[in-house]
Chain A
Amino acid sequence: MLIADHLKFAYPPLGPDLPATEALREVTFSLQTGESLAVMGASGSGKSTLCHVLAGLAPRYTSGDISGAVSAAGYNVLAQMPPTGAVGLLFQDAATQLFNPTVEDEVAWGLEALGIPSQRIGAQVEEALGRFGLLNVRARSPWALSGGQQKRLALAAVWAMRPRVLLLDEPLGGLDPQGRAEVLTTLSTLHYSGVTLLLTTFRPEAAALAPTTLVLTDGAASPPAPTADVLRDEARLVEAGILYPPHLWPSLAARSAPSSAPAITVQDLHFAYTDGYAALHGVNVDIPQGQFVAVIGPNGAGKSTLLRHFNGLLRPTRGKVYVQGQDAARRSTGDLARDVGFLFQRPEQQLFAATVYEEVAFGVRRLHLADVEGRVERALARFDLTGLAQKPPSILSYGAQRAVTLASLAALDTPILALDEPAVGIDGREWARLLAWLAERRAAGVTLIIVTHEMELAARADRVVALADGRVVADGTPDEVLSRPTEVPR
């Protein structure tokens, strides 16, 4: 039903003097009707390319060189595009594949493309929405949904077309733990419908949905093996950049105890967005210099809103924020950048400069810091980017782009670091690099504030602040806060 035989694929070179990018070097597997296969691999290992090739989209819509053989749902995919609906693909980035004004129109669109008589479409839309738990949001705009709901909607839209082969590219990618749990629940029943399933992931809990798993390393696939055996060989998954289990993490403890001088002081902070939505209702937090604080709480608790006050991206509706003892209201965001280094969610989307060097130098120049060249070169070297300094960031691999975002931050050498959900959507290799750098900064005495859903990370902080509905509901050591799960909604 789904066969890849000695599959090789290379994207055309991005420039006249650049080599072609070999995305798939050697992939061979075969699935019977109703079987499932998990493909585990780090970012950039070729997972998305494999899905696009199997669905007939690459090289048909992307260009590139292909060799080997691919068969899906009985069609020779390289020779002809499988007919609409035979092969379904859930894209890695669910949000961009949603383009209809409402949730139910999104599901109906594919059925209309299949030419299903209009009087039968309603019932099929209903069934798909019910199956993926979306009936209560059917009239909403897909863009107003949470990440987990968007993934489930994209899945419902593909599933409604009744594909015989279903390809899921990173079905848990980019989601927080709550979204992952939602999607995992709906996925766990998929195989009952008799569909042939291939899913790519770097998460063991997703791989466990399939009885067999193959590991993709830089485009080369291992022979499929029982998933339990693959997951048991932790060392190999770490080696492939897929996992980075907590027992390997470096210590994030500071060398010396936090000083008594405050890094950030928040007094009775209230904040409402311009549309009237009140996100914070009287938050009080004192963060001494050199402390590592994890900010936790459910979605919509106000975590990111709080963090954005620390570098002035948001300004209090009422109350005060002091940074290094100075009233933040008297300083511009640009000026606060001297004290607070900020890592956004999905920072790789924010690269804008013409070269990696310029990207890293941007903040250093803007803040008129001394020794621009030295700072930039040290930061590039720290993240193994020296050889890429003159390349445009947009052509780099995802992993290298993440490294550029860290280098840009490192070059500023700020006494405070604020990170917004740094763990979302990154594989073991990226995680290891980030934690190694954070460990260095901690040893140098940096104040670290991380908004996170990952309890393993929060457990390593000096202090955990839990928010819910815009208020601090718990504040103490990890032992004190994390041991009371009933009071701290996760």
Chain B
Amino acid sequence: MSVALDFYVYRDSWLHRLDPRVKLWGMLLAFIAAFLLPYLWAQGVFLLGLHLLLLINHIPWAVLRRLWRQMALLMVLILVLQPFFVPAGTVLIALGPLRLTVGGIVGAALLAVRALVIAFIVGALLFTTDQRALVQAFVRLGLPYTWGLTFSLTLRFLPAIQQLFVTVREAQAARGWVAEGNLFRRFRDYLPVLVAVIIGTLRMSDRLTLALAARGLASGAPRTVWRDLRMRTTDWVTFAVITLAFGLLLVSR
């Protein structure tokens, strides 16, 4: 549970080694492409390509399957509801005001695949980029170091806060708490837990303030960076290739 927010898959591959700034640029272009491509088949090819990219770069099939499972509910919702919201073309079935249309089904399928494409683009970044590299990328792109640090700390302490919540809840259960009553009553039951979690969080941040100060965050002296990011030839080549490919896509539309 404590590493719930860490999606990184520890492997050694071309995509893992690729400079995170290039990966961010690639992600941006891929997002735009995913929104521009209007055909179901093109989105399908895109999705297939992303799967191949991840598999070639040693991301295990199990990780991809987990992402599919996480997306499943959203897919079902889109496929079931979307056709009725945006009806178009030939009517297949009409139920009162609801009309199931060919255009609606195709539109829903396109949206569903597009959502999957977006999920796998984000996956391609997060599965292959550790948190440190990601933060470094943002810092090198101009974000102040303290912002990057804050981002890391947030990722690090959200699971801790969640753990705090579970801990207090268990303590209450062990002393007779049973989930009961209406929504309002349950919400009232949760209030003391929230108070305990907030107090716990404030204490945690107090201790962290001291820990950071003790290791020299507030000293104001310039920091050096171990294993700093450096664009290698492959990074530049990749950068050029994806930019060119994106340009071709724009022209060919």
**Chain A residue, CB-CB nearest to B208:** A96
B196 touches A350 (CB 8 A): yes
Residue among B176, B193, B208, B214 with max Cβ neighbours from chain A (10 Å) = B214
Q: Of A83, A112, A332, A342, which is within 8 A of B223 by CB?
A: A112
Chain A residues with CB below 8 A from B217, complex form:
113
Could you tell me if B211 and A351 are in contact, using CB atoms closer than 8 angstroms? Answer: no
Contact, CB under 8 Å: A109 / B176: no
The 8 sampled A-B contact pairs (Cβ below 8 Å) are A83-B219, A85-B216, A139-B10, A143-B3, A311-B174, A333-B174, A347-B171, A350-B168
Question: Which one of B29-37, B88-96, B199-207 is at the A interface?
Answer: B199-207
B40-48, B105-113, B224-232, B240-248 - interface stretch: B224-232
Which A-B residue pairs are the 3 nearest by beta carbons? A84-B216, A334-B178, A363-B175
Say yes or no: A350 contacts B6, CB within 8 Å: no
Report the nearest A residue to B204, measured CB to CB: A96
- List residues of chain A with CB within 8 A of the CB of B164: 349
Chain A nearest Cβ from B200, distance in angstroms: 7
- Extra A-B contacts (15), CB below 8 Å, given A333-B174, A344-B171, A352-B168: A57-B210, A96-B208, A101-B132, A101-B152, A141-B2, A143-B3, A311-B174, A313-B173, A334-B178, A337-B173, A344-B170, A352-B192, A363-B175, A366-B172, A408-B175
Given contacts A99-B152, A114-B216, A362-B175, contact A141 B6 (CB under 8 A): yes
In the bound complex, residues from chain A placing their C-beta under 8 Å from that of B223 are: 112-113, 115
Indicate if the CB atoms of A118 and B174 lie closer than 8 Å: no
Q: Is B195 an interface residue (CB 8 A)?
A: yes
What is the minimal beta-carbon distance from B77 to any residue of chain A, in angstroms?
24
Interface contacts (Cβ under 8 Å), in number, total 164
Question: B226 — which chain A residues lie within 8 A by C-beta?
Answer: 108, 111-112, 118, 121-122, 125
Contacts of B209 in A (CB 8 A): 61
> Is A97 in contact with chain B by the CB < 8 A criterion?
yes
Task: List CB contacts (< 8 Å) of A104-151 with chain B.
Answer: 105, 108-118, 121-122, 125, 139, 141, 143-144
Query: Of A118, A312, A363, which one neighbours B225 at CB under 8 angstroms?
Result: A118
Beta-carbon contact of A349 and B132 below 8 Å:
no
Specify the main secondary structure of chain B where it touches its partner. helix
Cα distance, A313 to B175, chains bound together (Å): 11
In the bound assembly, the distance between CA atoms of A438 and B124 in angstroms comes to 56
A115 and B224 contacting across the interface, CB-CB below 8 Å: yes
Inter-subunit contact B222/A115 (CB<8 Å) = yes
Cβ of B58 within 8 Å of any chain A Cβ, yes or no, is: no
B131 at the interface (CB under 8 A from A): yes
**What distance in Å separates the Cβ of A431 from its nearest Cβ neighbour in chain B?**
21
Contact status A157-B6, CB under 8 Å: no
Expressed in whole angstroms, the Cα–Cα distance for A122 and B224 within the complex equals 12
Q: Is A394 an interface residue when CB atoms closer than 8 A count as contact?
A: yes
Task: Tell me if B156 counts as interface (CB < 8 A to partner A).
Answer: yes
A97 to B153 CA separation, bound complex (whole angstroms): 11
In the complex, the answer to whether B6 meets A101 with C-beta atoms within 8 Å is: yes
| Cβ–Cβ contact A337 & B152, under 8 A | no
Contacts A61-B210, A112-B223, A334-B178 known; A313 to B152 CB distance under 8 Å? Answer: no
Give the docked Cα–Cα distance between A457 and B216 (Å). 43
Q: Which of A373-423 contact B (CB under 8 A)?
A: 394, 408, 412
Interface pair B214/A57, CB less than 8 Å apart = yes
The answer on a CB contact under 8 Å between B178 and A113 is no
Tell me, yes or no, whether A182 is within 8 Å of chain B by CB. Answer: no
Tell me whether B213 is interfacial, beta carbon within 8 Å. yes
Residue of B nearest to A121 (CB): B226
**With A141-B6, A157-B215 given, is the CB distance from A115 to B200 under 8 Å?**
no
Cβ–Cβ contact B210 & A100, under 8 A: no
If A93-B207, A350-B168, A394-B199 touch, whether A102 touches B224 (CB-CB below 8 Å) is no
CB distance A349 to B200 under 8 Å? yes
B 109-162 contacts with A by CB, 8 A? 130-132, 152-153, 156-157, 159
Q: How far apart are A419's CB and chain B's nearest CB, in angstroms? A: 12
CB of A358, distance to nearest CB on chain B (Å): 8
For window 241-255 of A, CB contacts with B under 8 Å fall at none
Q: How far is the CB of A415 from chain B (nearest CB, A)?
A: 15
How far apart are the CA atoms of A38 and B204 in the complex, in Å? 27
Can you name the residue of chain A whose Cβ is closest to the Cβ of B134? A101
A312: nearest residue on chain B (CB-CB)? B173
User: How far is the CB of B17 from the nearest CB of chain A, in Å?
Assistant: 15
Q: Which residue of B lies closest to A157 (CB)?
A: B215
A109→B215 contact, CB < 8 A: yes
Asked whether A344 and B174 contact (CB < 8 A) given A141-B3, A143-B3, the answer is: yes
Contact B207 A97 (CB under 8 A): yes
B14 touches A (CB below 8 Å): no
A20 proximal to B (CB < 8 A): no
Inter-subunit contact B208/A52 (CB<8 Å): no
Interfacial chain A residues near B6, Cβ < 8 Å: 101, 141
Which residues of chain B come closer than 8 Å to A312, judged between CB atoms? 173
